[in-house]
Amino acid sequence: MFELDASQIIDHVFDWIDLHLFNLNILIQVGAISFTFLIALIVNLLLRPHINGALSSVANKGKKRRRTVEILNIILLPIIWVGLQWLTNIVFLQFGYQHDLLRITASLLNAWIVIRVFVSLVPTNIFWRRIVAFIAWSIAALNAANLLKPTITILSDVGFTVGDARITLYSIITGFLLGVVLFWSALLISNFLKQKLSDSQHLTPSVQTLLSQLIKVTLIFVSLILTLNIIGLDLSVFTFFSGALGVGLGFGLQKIVSNFVSGIILLVDQSLQPGNVIEVGGTFGKVKTLGARYTTVETRDGHEYLIPNERFITQEVINWDFSNSRVRRKIEIGVAYDTDVELAMKLIVEATVGVDRILSHPAPVARLVSFGDSSVNIEARFWVDDPANGLANITSDYLLNVWKLFKKNAIEIPFPQTDIHIKEIPKIDNSFFKPPV
């Protein structure tokens, strides 16, 4: 009995294999898949030298360009193969042949291509890689099982109404997925155009930053509008919330809007540009980047300060090279009252000789400015042409020369001191200390 059941099972297995695997239609589809793969392999081999040439030509033109060519080199074969498979699929459909195996293979190739491209572009974000892989393989599995259209129909039936618009679960999922793609594409395009603008020799850094920021905001806004449109939301629905949004901008987002508008003003009037050496609120450094909300200032210590743009509009800002890169330094030096002041003034001017970056024209001068409590105060005035390279180092070198010349000529630099002169000692009545009789 057992042998009879086993033989029946084996017969059923062979019948299924003969019906589903070794029939003429299946063999034709397998042959079509193999033939399209062979054609794709030949085309890929013909295009490979051109891809390698492009890869070598962009080797020194930036990491992004090189990465793009590398991705194309990886996915070129499956792209050609899946294209030929879909064409073969259409031919089979026109002549009435079954094409399930072709369709399943093409669906799996599509999922693999999407996942491979995304993993190559976002190599470090494991969460998004898993999300994209799950979505791609799910769509491919549903399409392979002929369940994609029924699933779309079910998702389209589940929904709710907002005003006159009908929002379904399918439109939400589709809008979310396309919205992510649109937002990501907007960032890629804005970064690409930003790089192109930065390479332009005809635009100032401020105009480059302004244009790149406007392009970025515009593309993100357009992607948001398109996403809402794909979901099915009527934008007129948000008219009711415009008043509340205005109140929110007036209170909760006041600083953000103020910084954004201030950033646009700075970019338009070009009062601040990347590379300028500025001093604001006790922070001295070089402007590194101008952003929509804040400006990055790098100090000589290597610290980067993110300063809100509003401060550059409402506070006093010293721009050391706004219209003239030359600045004048004033250093007050005190000498003792018994000093030959004219000699001291001559030595103060002479101390500028040999100090790098101190200009000889206009000529350095020394001026007697005041008589202090402990010293006669002389002010040294000289010009520096490159404040971006620092002023403290010039001051240090100059004062060291002054110290050496004063020591050489026996000129005293006094320090604050107070002298107490007692003109008369009062008499003390000692009777108070005598013991009583």
Cβ neighbours around 11 below 10 Å, total: 10
CB 102 within 8 A of CB 88: yes
User: Does residue 357 register a pLDDT over 50?
Assistant: yes
Predicted confidence at residue 380, as pLDDT, reads 93
CB 331 within 8 A of CB 363: no
> In this predicted structure, which of 17-26, 161-170, 389-398 has the lowest mean pLDDT?
17-26
pLDDT band at 377 (very low <50, low <70, confident <90, very high): very high
What tokens appear for 158 in the block?
A: 């589940």
Cα distance between residue 140 and residue 107, in whole Å: 5
Cα distance between residue 251 and residue 7, in whole Å: 82
Q: Tell me the pairing of strands 277-280 and 283-290.
A: antiparallel
Residues 141-166 have a mean pLDDT of: 75
State the burial class of residue 182 (Cβ atoms within 10 Å of its Cβ: 0-12, 13-18, 19+): buried
Q: Which helix (H) or strand (E) holds 332?
A: strand 327-335
Predicted confidence at residue 332, as pLDDT, reads 92
Q: Which helix (H) or strand (E) holds 40?
A: helix 24-57
Predicted confidence at residue 78, as pLDDT, reads 82
> In this predicted structure, which of 48-52, 317-321, 375-379 has the lowest mean pLDDT?
48-52
Distance from first CA to last CA of the chain, Å, rounded? 148
What tokens appear for 159 in the block?
A: 């929904």
Domains and CATH numbers, the chain: 8-146 (no CATH), 151-240 (no CATH), 271-319 (2.30.30.60), 327-408 (3.30.70.100)
- Name the β-bridge partners of 318: 279
Cβ neighbours around 259 below 10 Å, total: 21
Cα distance between residue 174 and residue 187, in whole Å: 20
User: Does residue 4 register a pLDDT over 50?
Assistant: no
Predicted confidence at residue 407, as pLDDT, reads 92
CA 299, chain centre distance (Å):
20
CB 77 within 8 A of CB 51: no
Closest CA to 310 of 283, 292, 322, 284: 292
Say whether 376 sits in a helix, a strand or coil: strand
What tokens appear for 7 in the block?
A: 């033989």
Q: What is the CA radius of gyration of the chain?
A: 40
Amino acid in the structure at residue 169: L
Share of the chain above pLDDT 90, in %: 10
Q: State the chain's mean pLDDT as an integer.
A: 77
Secondary structure, 3-state, 45-65:
HHHHHHHHHHHHHCCCCCHHH
pTM score, whole prediction:
0.44
Predicted confidence at residue 365, as pLDDT, reads 92
pLDDT band at 1 (very low <50, low <70, confident <90, very high): very low
pLDDT band at 291 (very low <50, low <70, confident <90, very high): confident
* Cis, peptide link before residue 308, omega less than 30° from 0: no
Please state, in angstroms and as integers, the Cα–Cα distance from residue 188 to each residue in 58, 65, 200, following that order.
Answer: 19, 12, 19
Residues 6+ apart with CB under 8 A from 268: 206, 210
Predicted confidence at residue 3, as pLDDT, reads 45
Residue keyed to tokens 């005809």: 202
Q: Per 3-state DSSP, what percentage of the chain is helix, strand, and coil (rounded to 5)? A: 60, 15, 25
Predicted confidence at residue 436, as pLDDT, reads 60
pLDDT tens-digit series, residues 239-261: 555 555 566 556 656 777 777 78
Closest CA to 210 of 309, 284, 280, 62: 309
> In this predicted structure, which of 60-74, 124-138, 349-363 has the lowest mean pLDDT?
60-74
Residues 64-68 have a mean pLDDT of: 65
User: Does residue 182 register a pLDDT over 80?
Assistant: yes
Residues 93-99 have a mean pLDDT of: 70
- Name the β-bridge partners of 277: 286
Give CA angle at 393 (387, 396), nearest 5°.
130
